[in-house]
Structure 1
Amino acid sequence: MATNDPPLIFWGRCRSGRRWFWTANEYDGEQIHGWADTPDEASRQANAATVQLAAGRYADVRVLHGVATEQLKKLNAAQRSAKAPKSARTGAVPPPDPTGYLYAVEPGRYDLDDVTWIPGKVVRFPITKTTARRIYYLRPRFLYMPGPDWEPGYVDRQELERHGSVHVPYWHLLFAEPPELPTAHTVRPRRHRPEPAPPPDLKQLKAAMAAAHPDRGGTSEAFIAARDRYVRARRRAA
């Protein structure tokens, strides 16, 4: 985000046992959290933390309770890891002897310099358990960042066996067998100055941002990234 933009701050709350957990996060910045006895008290404390993060600046403040849920999961996972024996703290790493793999295509993309082309590849996710209805597997928490930050997921076994693939967020499709990559002639890397890209479709970016909202099944990280893309595209269009 540009340095002259107002800071983007999210706050939210969620239930934590008999209490309420709250958090306030500045995008790419500091995070403050705590617990309260009532939802109203959690909201008041989160608002106070938001004012503290703004530090006298005009800020773009958004209420997103999904950020509290995500942060609480991370804190609980870190607490469990700290209590576990050292040999058991590798639970986030795929098992050394999985029962099988699911496959996805990591599409080719340009690097951050917008010049260097990174070819696509087939990636595999270890299967941890198979039942009559579901296939459980481990997947990277973030796209393009495989392990050791993995999280569990599952797919419908009957759909996968019927079609050979199944739709999932981020990766779009998971395959039962390694898929074929697009042929080389469909990729035209830019070797010198990048050619002007067509203007992004603001309606599609806005729809993608709404679909990534945690209240609609997305995650706070995906929503923040989608919002950032929409804001930058709208700024360029203006």
Structure 2
Amino acid sequence: MNMFVSSAAAAGAPAVAMNLAPHEPVVDHQGILARVEQIVDVLRTRYICEGWQMDEDGAARALNYFRRHVEGPGFKDEDEDTLEFTRVLEFFRSHGQSLDWAHDGDLAGMICRLAKVSPRGGALGASCVKADPTFAEIEAHKKASADYSAAIRDVVPGTLDPDTVKEETFGDREAEVRHELATSVPTTLPGLLAMLTYVEDVSSGKYSASGRPDNAFDRNDLLNVIVRAQDCLRDHSAGSAV
């Protein structure tokens, strides 16, 4: 069920039921239509970016939906209303528009979105990302892994075997740094994405000299990564709910 009162449902509701629900919010369909018409007009007539083209079919569907709530004809049932509304949502989503403003006249979401892409928002966001230790830990593991690979390729003269001291020293270092990366909790969502991407790239062989899959991150490491990813998402979900 969508947030709009189905015209079909409203038309078929008994009068007594309507009288028993005075607390039901009154939806200003005329105001909603006017705001959606303004959105479409701006997207159609203003400069947005190089090569911009509004989805005219999507705009037509959105306008038709809201006009039907004002002018009719009503939807045959709630299922038809909901289906058409999902198409409206796709138009809003693909064009970055605020349904809160269109439906309620609430500008908060638009203000916050613009603040996020402002110079100040970008500078503060970059600062937070730099402070995330995950990026430094990824770089540390790249170096430790490269050093270990070099150590096992450096064979003892006259043999085909690597120097056991170097192999153990650099192998222990790689394992230590890998454990630090797998057990630390990213403090930012970009840090979490970077960690997951790096682990996948290592496992697929992107950083392997042979290009073959690399099981450096074993089962325990991968379980640790999943748990830390959950911790990161939980922290951010809690922060968003405040």
Place the TM-score, normalised by the shorter chain, in its bin.
Answer: under 0.3
Q: What TM-score does the superposition give when structure 1 sets the normalisation length?
A: 0.22
More helix by share: 2
| TM-score of the pair, normalised by structure 2 | 0.22
Structure with greater strand share of residues: 1
